Chain A
Amino acid sequence: MIIHYLIYAIFIYYIALHGLYLMLIIIGATQLRRHSQGISYGEFRRIADSPLTLPITVIIPAYNEEVMIVNTVLNALNLRYPQHEVIVVNDGSADNTLQTLIEHFGLRRVDKVGQRSIPTKEILGVFESSRFPNLVVVDKENGRRADAINAAVLYSRYPLLCIIDADCVVEEDGLLHMARPFLRDAQVVAAGGVVRPSNGLIVDKGRIVSVKLPKSMLALNQEVEYARSFHWARIGLSKLNSMLCISGAFMLIKKDVFVAVGGSWSESITDDIEFTIRLNRYVYDRDQPRRQKIAYVPDAVCYTEVPDTIRQYASQRNRWQRGTFQALLRSIGMMLNPRYGLTGLFGMPFFMIFEALSAVIETGGYVLVVVALIMGIATAGEVVLFFLLAFVLGTLLSLAAVLLKETTRLRTANRSELWRLLFAVLTDNLFFHQLHLLIRFAGTFDYFVRRRIDLGAVMVRTGSKPKEA
Chain B
Amino acid sequence: MITIISYVTGGLAATLLVLMAAIIMLNTVSGRRIATAKFLRSKMLPVLQEYLAGNAGEAAVIQELAQDREIALECLVETSHSLPSPARSRLHYFFDYFRFTQTLMEEAGNKRWSVCARAITQLGFTGNRECIPLLLQALYDEMLDVRLAAARALAQLGAGEAVEPILRSLALPGNLPQQSTAEILYEMGQVAVAHLLVFMRKYHRMEDATALAIAVRALGLLKADNAAPEIITLLSHPNAEVRLNSARTLGHIGSPIVIKPLLHRLQDPVWEVRSITVKALGYLGYPVAIPAIHKALEDTAWWVRYNAAEALFRLGETGISLLKHAMVVHPDRFARDISRQILEEHRAIAA
Contacts and interface: CB of A to CB of B under 8 A. Distances in A.
Contacts of A54: 175
Nearest to A111: B340
B122 A41 contact: yes
B123 to A, nearest CB: 11
Interface residues of A, number: 49
B26 A37 contact: no
A389 B5 contact: yes
B143 to A, nearest CB: 9
Contact of B2 (A52, A108, A183, A385): A385
Interface in A107-133: 108-113, 115-116, 128, 130, 133
Contacts of B179: 50, 52-53, 183
Interface stretch (A163-171, A214-222, A312-320, A401-409): A401-409
Interface string A85-110: 00000000000000000000000111
Contacts of B174: 183-187
B20 A422 contact: yes
A112 B341 contact: yes
B176 interface: yes
A260 to B, nearest CB: 17
Contacts of B31: 415
Interface stretch (B10-18, B54-62, B232-240): B10-18
A110 B183 contact: no
A55 to B, nearest CB: 12
Interface string B304-339: 001000000000000000000000000000100110
A392 B26 contact: no
A382 B1 CA distance: 11
A186 B27 contact: no
A317 B180 CA distance: 44
A247 to B, nearest CB: 25
B117 A40 contact: yes
B19 A40 contact: no
Given A407-B26, A422-B20, A422-B23, A110 B344 contact: yes
B348 to A, nearest CB: 12
A392 B22 CA distance: 17
Overall SS of chain B's interface: helix
A131 B88 CA distance: 39
A388 interface: yes
Contact of B20 (A40, A112, A399): A399
Contacts, number: 115
Contacts of B340: 111, 113
A38 to B, nearest CB: 6
B27 A392 contact: no
B20 A52 contact: no
Contacts of A403: 19, 22-23, 26
B27 A37 contact: no
B182 A52 contact: yes
Given A38-B145, A108-B351, A183-B176, A399 B16 contact: yes
B198 interface: no
Nearest to A388: B9
A403 B118 CA distance: 26
A46 interface: yes
A184 B122 contact: no
A392 B2 contact: no
A327 B340 CA distance: 41
Interface string A33-56: 000011011100110001011100
Contact of B351 (A111, A115, A184, A382): A111
B24 interface: yes
B345 interface: yes
Nearest to A186: B174
A359 to B, nearest CB: 23
B91 interface: no
A388 B13 CA distance: 9
A412 B81 contact: no
A232 B16 CA distance: 17
B9 A389 contact: yes
Contacts of A182: 175
Nearest to A415: B27
Nearest to A412: B27
A396 B351 contact: no
Contacts of B170: none
A393 interface: yes
Contacts of A183: 174-176, 179
Interface of A: 37-38, 40-42, 45-46, 50, 52-54, 108-113, 115-116, 128, 130, 133, 157, 180, 182-187, 382, 385, 388-389, 392-393, 395-396, 399-400, 402-403, 406-407, 411-412, 415, 418, 422
What are the 7 tightest A-B residue pairs by CB atom distance, in nearest-first order?
A: A37-B114, A183-B176, A186-B174, A115-B302, A113-B337, A52-B179, A184-B176
Given A52-B183, A54-B175, A403-B22, 15 more contacts: A37-B114, A38-B145, A41-B81, A45-B81, A108-B351, A111-B340, A112-B341, A115-B302, A183-B179, A185-B174, A385-B6, A393-B12, A395-B16, A406-B26, A418-B27
Interface of B: 2, 5-6, 8-9, 12-13, 15-16, 19-20, 22-24, 26-28, 30-31, 77, 81, 114, 117-118, 121-122, 144-145, 148-149, 173-177, 179-180, 182-183, 302, 306, 334, 337-338, 340-341, 344-345, 347, 351
